[in-house]
A and B are shown apart, each in its own frame.
Chain A
Amino acid sequence: MHIMEGFLPAKHALAWSVVSAPFVAYGIYSIKKRIAEHPEQRMLLGVATAFTFVLSALKLPSVTGSCSHPTGTGFGALLFGPAAMAPVGMIVLLFQALLLAHGGLTTLGANIFSMAIVGPFAAYGIFRMAQKIRLSFKLSVFFAAALGDLLTYVTTSLQLALAFPDPVGGFAASFAKFASIFALTQIPLAASEGFLTVLVFNALARYNARELQAMNLPVEQEVKA
């Protein structure tokens, strides 16, 4: 989902940066507030960041014959709220843009928007909805993480289609082309992200149940079940 350095026209690059900036600012504020109220959650914030580091480094092959990577942002969004993931995602994207020439500074705003804003907010919303229709905690986590991951890549496709509409078919044709690269490739990877997120929650539910309860996550019923 990384749009490469220089591959968004300057106007688009600027616009996405302007859109993403307030999310990052509010995210930093929300993290500061949370850590001031619950200093003991600092380590878990580190775990959420670390999870994003690992998953976005895993370039996995997909059935479409190309490789892509999960994002790992759904996990943190469920723990700390979706806003907190904007600055966390930015750290990961900066690391990759500066050291790996993967993504870039001019496209940072657009990449933050897809991976660190749309992904986490989608994951959070889907989790809430899944809980409302009484899916089990684990299924809710799975759908939240997997669909958040997938929607990140749909967003990247939208961003590229907006910047590069097809000369014949316009925006829609271009979106179909970019989505066939990003979103299709991502489907099995999104499932992988869902599985890995449930795996981490299983470990936390077993050894850190108290911490999860402090974050209003309904683990207890699961442990009893």
Chain B
Amino acid sequence: MKRYQNFLLVAAVILLAAIPLVLVKRPPVGPDAKEVEIFKGADDEAKDLIGRISPDYKPWFKPIMEPPSGEVGSLLFALQAALGAGFIGYYLGSSVTRTRLQKEQSGPRC
């Protein structure tokens, strides 16, 4: 069980992300003949809801810099994930190597 545990944890995360992709069906095209968007960001949906609750509300500050396109935006998100994953990988990698070297040193010599 213990050996498979990490594998199961990863599988659970992948499943939790993949199941919605299959389960959520795109609603039929509305009267305005526009495709209904699915899997929008929750942040964006909250912004739309603010517009419905207080239609008069005007955002009073604009982002200083906005990614010029969705592509550039995804570049920066990928960069964010890569920086984090790179650091974690480096730390775990060096810990694994350190543990192995310690074992080799303290292990029986022939």
For residues 49 through 79 of chain A, which have their beta carbon under 8 Å from a beta carbon of chain B?
Answer: 49-68
Assess whether B96 is in contact with A195, with CB atoms less than 8 Å apart.
no
Decide if A101 is an interface residue (CB 8 Å cutoff).
yes
Decide if A139 is an interface residue (CB 8 Å cutoff).
no
Say yes or no: A57-B80 contact (C-beta < 8 A), given A6-B62, A192-B16: yes
Assess whether A66 is in contact with B16, with CB atoms less than 8 Å apart.
no
Chain A residue contacts of B98, Cβ below 8 A: 207
Q: Point out the residue from B24, B41, B91 that lies within 8 Å of A47, measured CB to CB.
A: B91
Assess whether A192 is in contact with B13, with CB atoms less than 8 Å apart.
yes
Q: Point out the residue from A5, A96, A182, A199 that lies within 8 Å of B62, measured CB to CB.
A: A5
Assess whether A50 is in contact with B43, with CB atoms less than 8 Å apart.
no
Assess whether A67 is in contact with B42, with CB atoms less than 8 Å apart.
yes
Contact digits for B81-98, partner A, Cβ 8 Å, 1 yes 0 no: 101111110011001101
Q: Point out the residue from A59, A105, A160, A208 that lies within 8 Å of B61, measured CB to CB.
A: A105
**How far, in angstroms, from A43 to B98 measured CA to CA in the complex?**
14
**How far, in angstroms, from A106 to B59 measured CA to CA in the complex?**
10
Least CB distance, A178 to chain B, in whole angstroms: 6
Interface residues on chain B, size class: 35 or more
Least CB distance, B105 to chain A, in whole angstroms: 16
Least CB distance, A103 to chain B, in whole angstroms: 8
Decide if A162 is an interface residue (CB 8 Å cutoff).
no
Beta-carbon nearest neighbor of A197 in chain B: B9
**How far, in angstroms, from A105 to B65 measured CA to CA in the complex?**
11
Decide if B54 is an interface residue (CB 8 Å cutoff).
yes
**How far, in angstroms, from A5 to B73 measured CA to CA in the complex?**
16
Assess whether B53 is in contact with A164, with CB atoms less than 8 Å apart.
yes
Chain A residue contacts of B81, Cβ below 8 A: 53-54, 57-58
Chain B residue contacts of A57, Cβ below 8 A: 77-78, 80-81, 84
**How far, in angstroms, from A165 to B54 measured CA to CA in the complex?**
9
Say yes or no: A160-B92 contact (C-beta < 8 A), given A54-B85, A100-B73, A198-B9: no
A-B contact pairs, 10 of them (CB 8 A): A4-B59, A5-B61, A63-B23, A66-B40, A106-B60, A164-B53, A181-B42, A181-B49, A192-B12, A192-B16
Query: What residues make up the interface of B, taking CB atoms closer than 8 Å to A?
Result: 5-6, 9-10, 12-13, 16-17, 19-21, 23-24, 38-43, 45-47, 49-50, 53-54, 57, 59-67, 73, 76-78, 80-81, 83-88, 91-92, 95-96, 98-99
